[in-house]
């Protein structure tokens, strides 16, 4: 079983909001204090379900992508999976940046749902994921025009969409900065340019 917390909820068991926030805070705390040149694995604490679980993360610009994984997954394989996820995001959003993730959490969640289901890897083929996501978005668009006929609403729907766990990661980052820093820092220009990163070591 594999959970990618900060993105989807910890999928194994249902947690209260408080516990979820605590997990995010602690994870952020653990991950953010690590140097660049150390390994990307963190032994599990009690909060994420004991020593069988590990935090596996990758750091891109201002964002951390953290997956919480138990022993049924390969550690090194998950690192590649995170890379596939980020590259897929990049394809879907065309040069994805932090603000995309905050305002389009629905899309992010849909993308993740095509990759990971019930804590298990579903699909790793990037093109396949992008094709299916596009098809579903088209389906949404078409029915909004047919059913409501109001374009302004329909556009909003496509953006309102599913507010999913993804922004939780973002919210975690945001909460960390409270209250010392004004919260509306402009982070729009820090984009994750995946192609420029040394992908796949």
Partner 1 sequence: MPAPIRLRELIRTIRTARTQAEEREMIQKECAAIRSSFREEDNTYRCRNVAKLLYMHMLGYPAHFGQLECLKLIASQKFTDKRIGYLGAMLLLDERQDVHLLMTNCIKNDLNHSTQYVQGLALCTLGCMGSSEMCRDLAGEVEKLLKTSNSYLRKKAALCAVHVIRKVPELMEMFLPATKNLLNEKNHGVLHTSVVLLTEMCERSPDMLAHFRKNEKLVPQLVRILKNLIMSGYSPEHDVSGISDPFLQVRILRLLRILGRNDDDSSEAMNDILAQVATNTETSKNVGNAILYETVLTIMDIKSESGLRVLAINILGRFLLNNDKNIRYVALTSLLKTVQTDHNAVQRHRSTIVDCLKDLDVSIKRRAMELSFALVNGNNIRGMMKELLYFLDSCEPEFKADCASGIFLAAEKYAPSKRWHIDTIMRVLTTAGSYVRDDAVPNLIQLITNSVEMHAYTVQRLYKAILGDYSQQPLVQVAAWCIGEYGDLLVSGQCEEEEPIQVTEDEVLDILESVLISNMSTSVTRGYALTAIMKLSTRFTCTVNRIKKVVSIYGSSIDVELQQRAVEYNALFKKYDHMRSALLERMPVMEKVTTNGPTEIVQTNGETEPAPLETKPPPSGPQPTSQANDLLDLLGGNDITPVIPTAPTSKPASAGGELLDLLGDINLTGAPAAAPAPASVPQISQPPFLLDGLSSQPLFNDIATGIPSITAYSKNGLKIEFTFERSNTNPSVTVITIQASNSTELDMTDFVFQAAVPKTFQLQLLSPSSSIVPAFNTGTITQVIKVLNPQKQQLRMRIKLTYNHKGSAMQDLAEVNNFPPQSWQ
Residue placing its CB nearer to partner 1 in the complex, 84 or 192:
84
DSSP label of 194: G
- The minimum distance between CB 134 and partner 1, in angstroms, equals 11
CA gyration radius for the chain? 17
- The minimum distance between CB 26 and partner 1, in angstroms, equals 13
Q: Which residues contact 124 (CB under 8 A, 6 or more apart)?
A: 81, 84, 115
Cis peptide before 115 (omega within 30 of 0): no
- The minimum distance between CB 128 and partner 1, in angstroms, equals 6
What's the order of all strands across the beta sheet hosting 41-43? Answer: 2-3, 63-69, 54-60, 41-43
Q: Taking Cα atoms as reference points, which of 110, 101, 108 lies closest to residue 170?
A: 101
- The minimum distance between CB 82 and partner 1, in angstroms, equals 11
Phi and psi at residue 190, to the nearest 5° = -90, 95
The Cα 12–Cα 120 span in angstroms is 11
- The minimum distance between CB 165 and partner 1, in angstroms, equals 6
């Amino acid at each position: 079983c594999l959970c990618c917390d900060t993105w989807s909820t910890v999928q194994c068991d249902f947690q209260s909001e408080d516990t979820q926030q605590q997990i995010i805070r602690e994870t952020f705390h653990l991950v953010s204090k690590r140097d660049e040149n150390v390994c990307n694995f963190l032994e599990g604490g009690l909060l994420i379900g004991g020593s069988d679980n590990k935090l596996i993360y990758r750091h891109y610009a201002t964002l951390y992508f953290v997956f919480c994984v138990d022993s049924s997954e390969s550690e090194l394989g998950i690192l590649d999976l995170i890379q596939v996820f980020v590259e897929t995001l990049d394809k879907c959003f065309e040069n994805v940046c932090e603000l995309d993730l905050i305002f389009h959490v629905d899309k992010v969640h849909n993308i993740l749902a095509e990759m990971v289901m019930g804590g298990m890897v579903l699909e790793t083929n990037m093109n396949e994921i992008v094709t299916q996501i596009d098809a579903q978005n088209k389906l949404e668009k078409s029915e909004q025009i047919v059913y409501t006929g109001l374009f302004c609403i329909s556009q909003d729907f496509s953006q309102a969409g599913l507010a999913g766990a993804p922004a939780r990661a973002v919210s975690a980052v945001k909460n960390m900065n409270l209250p010392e820093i004004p919260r509306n820092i402009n982070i729009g220009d820090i984009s994750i340019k995946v192609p420029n990163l040394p992908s796949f070591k």
